[in-house]
Amino acid sequence: MAQKPGIPKGTRDFGPVEMAKRNYIFNTIKEVYALYGFQQIETPSMENLSTLMGKYGDEGDKLLFKVLNSGDYLKKISDEELAERNVLKLQSKLCEKGLRYDLTVPFARYVVMHRDELQMPFKRYQIQPVWRADRPQKGRYREFYQCDADIVGSDSLLNEVELMQIVDTVFTRFGIRVQIKINNRKILAGIAEVIGAPEKMVDITVAIDKLDKIGLDNVNLELKEDGLSDDAIAKLQPILSLSGSNDEKLATIKTVLSDSETGLKGVEEVKFILDTLKTMGLKNEMQLDLTLARGLNYYTGAIFEVKALDTPMGSITGGGRYDNLTGIFGMPGLSGVGISFGADRIYDVLDALDLYPKDSINATQVIFINFGDKETAYSLPVLKACREAGIRAEIFPDAAKMKKQMNYANAKHIAYAVFTGDSEIEAGKVTVKDMEMGGQKLVSTEELIAIVSNGTKIAKEA
């Protein structure tokens, strides 16, 4: 008995409708990236393990998919080493390559390898799959796409401003209402500095995040249990009670951080970004959020996160400023800032809110019904003219029963069907049927093209 086929856990097949939706997402993001001067690159699915290992921490190293060497991969392994069953030691000899874990490390490697060819600042975008040997669960896959854009080789905050405009433009085009949250790593470092507890920064941000759920008194109690002194907690109160507009929040933070040069620098950076964006007429709200603490060890300046407002979902876009992208490959000092759209989560949000344009899903606009050789020979030039006019058109390949052909058209949600019989051939025209309204009409090729192109409705005659 043949074995039932399957796919690895944490991976997915995508059918025609799903691919149409995904391509709508990718194409929209690509178009906006291009508007801002970003250029597309791609890197190999496989990288040398020496490129990947040690870049994501011990846990990240464990989640790398390793690729077994080609040929006699046991040639360099002794019987004693096999008997030892030392997995890490064996992996280093059996595997020289791995599937990429993200797009950032391959991008850093690309910049270092091609630095003499690149015009700085370099604005790149990359939309490719990545792989992680994680435990699959709802919303978490072993293979998924990232949609990254980065600007490297420039310290200017205008880059942060442009990236926020990109985020606003993309989600406006999707029709998704979002809130764009902004914070700054320097502000977080400044808070830790002025209360004398730099090692407690994560505990502080976690506590601030719980304010709405457990209230100020319980947050203070939790901070005390985490080891913060009464004096440190007292200094935190203006931050914990932070409210009002972005400008009012910044004024409060500036007062609290008056003795921290680093913190004041963060306030200045956030103020520039927000003030500049005020003149840009964004469609979505920007909110200063001190609970935002993405990648504390990675980001060094502004940090961003985007949440959908009309459906429960985690972060659907994130990013920030980093100071040393290429230092891991021996080229220190290259600053950059980037964002990444979460394509899979955006897919779910568009699905939940039913925001996919019909045209992005219905591939074929018109189908020519096949009545036989003579009718097909007459239809083919008309079919060709439709395609030349940019209409997505097909002909049923077999002269099957009408019911089968119409069921095919309905299953694919094709808007129009074209019939050609003796009377149509004699008149030099075709009959077009509106599959939704049920009406039909005898038309010329030019009229057919106009009807389908404009989506003209043909009602049934009374």
Instruction: Summarize the annotated binding site as residue ranges.
Output: 102-104, 132, 146, 150, 294, 298-299
Which long-range CB contacts under 8 A does 31-36 form with residues at least 24 apart?
A: 32/166, 32/169, 32/170, 32/173, 33/125, 33/149, 33/166, 35/169, 36/123, 36/162, 36/165, 36/166
Residues facing 455 on adjacent strands? none
Q: Which residues are annotated as a binding site for L-histidine?
A: 102-104, 132, 146, 150, 294, 298-299
Residue by residue, DSSP assigns 93-159 as HHEEEEE-S-SHHHHHHHHHHTTTTPPSSEEEEEEEEEE--PPPBTTB-SEEEEEEEEEES---THH
CA neighbor of 344 nearest in space, from 143, 156, 98, 169: 143
Q: What share of the chain is helix, strand, coil (3-state, %, to 5)?
A: 45, 20, 35
Distance CA 346, CA 176 (A): 9
The distance between the two most distant Cα atoms of the chain, rounded to a whole number of Å, is 95
Q: Residue 419 and residue 433: Cα distance in Å, rounded?
A: 8
**Euclidean distance between CA atoms 194 and 171, whole angstroms:** 38
Contacts of 13 (CB under 8 A, 6+ apart): 7
Task: Read off the amino acid at residue 323.
Answer: D
Q: Rounded CA gap, 80 and 98, in Å? A: 26
The token pair that represents 335 in the structure block: 């600053």
What are the b/e assignments for 239-269, b being 16+ CB within 10 Å? bbebeeebeebbebbbebbeebebbbbbbeb
User: Looking up tokens 């947050």, which residue turns up?
Assistant: 219
The rounded distance, in Å, linking the Cα atoms of 222 and 214 is 10
267 contact partners, CB below 8 Å, separation of at least 6: 184, 187, 190, 250, 253, 254, 257
